[in-house]
Amino acid sequence: MEPTDRAFVASARTGDAEAFRVLVERHSRALFGLAYRMTGNESDAEDVVQESFLRAYRQLGKFDERSSFGSWVYRIAVNCSLDLVRSRQRRSEAPRPAGPEMEDPIDALPATGPAPDRIALGGELRSLVAAAMARLSDAERSAFVLRHFEGMRIEEVGRALGCQPGAAKHSVFRAVQKLRRALEPAMSPVK
Amino acid sequence: MNHQHLSEEELVLRYYGEERDPADAGRRLEECGECRALYASLQRTLNVMDSLPVPERGPEFGERVWRRIESRLASRPRLWLGWAPWRWAAAGAACAGLLALAFLAGRSLPRAQSPTPVAAADPQVGERILMAAVGDYLERSQMVLVELVNADPKGPLDISAEQARAANLVSEARLYRQTAAYAGDAAVGGVLDDLERVLVGIAHEPSRISPEALEKLRERLKNEGILFRIRVLGSNVRREEEPAGAPAGQRL
């Protein structure tokens, strides 16, 4: 029978790197999803995943064994993502050039739009969503991800981002406003 | 009487359940069609955000992360205890798991999508985009259910990967139910409702499911006929995606 995370955490705490390896292999993909939403960039998201596990390994001694390793390392990944986003802001650096999956299809739109037969319908809605997210500032994106995907209340978002609730609220509003303007034309009721 | 419209900010707070005075906001929404229209637009946008694509990472991703960080791990005091029992169990499970993951990954890798432009302002195109998304959603749901139905474990089975996918699908469910509502399609809405209940059930099973519990789950899927219903619905949706002039699909 496959052992639980708890057994591997206990072994990793004694210095068993192989046990920690199992934890890394189990949780990397979930962490990548979160980090990608937070950073908007595959390469940054991979950095966040690596940094999260490094931090987790160093802090294993502080981990409360009664809690879930998955939730704990997820929380670390949120903080790592925020650190990366903040360091970008400090350097006033634009996000790294997006990978092909984040290319903005809206930018390629001719004024009148293409004929329906040119449209690859299957993934188009998702492409529009990705493009709209890519247009948010780092502050807007991280506030929105924490509020919308992580379910944090505005006040918690403010605490996580190290800003006043008012500023967090403003970032969420700005994000929603931008997203609505970008997506609404494709979302109009059909009847 | 002057009506004070709800601001976009107030509506965002309402969507997230953080408005200061829910009763007042509710009353004002009821009274004002303009506010309701803005709120509906906001709901559509926020619901559709749940379909935000995240690039897939295959089962080898964890190993790649490990290779990158291994040399950077500060050495911890090592208590070498030889091969603990979990190592033997893990070695066996890992081999089986890798084979299963490779198989599942092969089946679930997303098809390449080119960022082709879209005629976003055309409502018919909007409808087709949404219906295409419903089709894709059904296909992904079907994959999760089929993998569980076809599993034949001799002992407890780790279904955490399927559960993660089921949970993601549940988080997208709102959007697709709303799509069905806009299209006025109660039959589709009904199937999506039932599918969501099934997915929620899967997401809440223990991540190591016993053969007996798996059999019960299979029975439930069979009794509800959910797999059959989503196959039929998926095929109808695909037919409806076809350009005008193509034969109309049969409704459930």
CATH of domain A1-94: 1.10.1740.10
β-partners of residue B246 are B244
How confident is the model over B142-197, as pLDDT tens digits? Answer: 878 877 777 777 777 778 777 877 877 777 776 677 666 666 667 777 778 778 87
Whole-number pLDDT of residue A24: 96
A119 closest CB neighbour out of B41, B125, B208: B125
Does B98 contact chain A (CB < 8 Å)? no
* pLDDT category of residue B250 using cuts at 50, 70 and 90: very low
* pLDDT category of residue B12 using cuts at 50, 70 and 90: very high
Q: Which two tokens stand for residue B57?
A: 């990472």
Q: Which two tokens stand for residue B36?
A: 């309701």
Residues of A in contact with B75 (CB under 8 A): 15
The candidate with the shortest Cα–Cα distance to A50, out of B68, B91, B124, B237, is: B68
How confident is the model over B183-194, as pLDDT tens digits? Answer: 666 777 777 877
How confident is the model over B200-247, as pLDDT tens digits? Answer: 778 777 777 878 888 878 777 777 778 777 877 777 766 665 544 433
How far apart are the CA of A93 and the nearest CA of chain B, in angstroms? 23
CATH class assigned to A112-183:
mainly alpha
Whole-number pLDDT of residue A46: 95
A96 and A138 Cβ atoms separated by less than 8 Å: no
- In a 13 Å sphere around the CA of B78, the CA atoms on its Cβ side amount to 10
Give the pLDDT of chain A (191 residues) as one tens digit per residue.
Answer: 567 889 999 999 888 899 999 999 999 998 998 899 888 889 999 999 999 999 999 999 888 888 789 878 988 998 899 888 878 766 655 454 444 444 333 333 333 333 333 334 446 777 788 888 888 888 899 899 989 988 889 998 888 777 899 999 999 999 999 999 998 887 665 54
Whole-number pLDDT of residue B178: 66
Residues of A in contact with B211 (CB under 8 A): none
What is the rounded CA–CA span in Å between residue A6 and residue B138?
A: 35
Residues, chain A: 191
Q: Which ipTM did the prediction report?
A: 0.73
What is the identity of the amino acid at B123? P
Interface test with A, best of B118, B154, B182, B241 (most A CBs within 10 A): B118
With CB atoms and an 8 Å threshold, state whether B69 touches A50. yes
The candidate with the shortest Cα–Cα distance to B130, out of B167, B177, B171, B168, is: B177
Domain ranges of chain A: 1-94, 112-183
> When comparing pLDDT for B93 and B8, which is higher?
B8
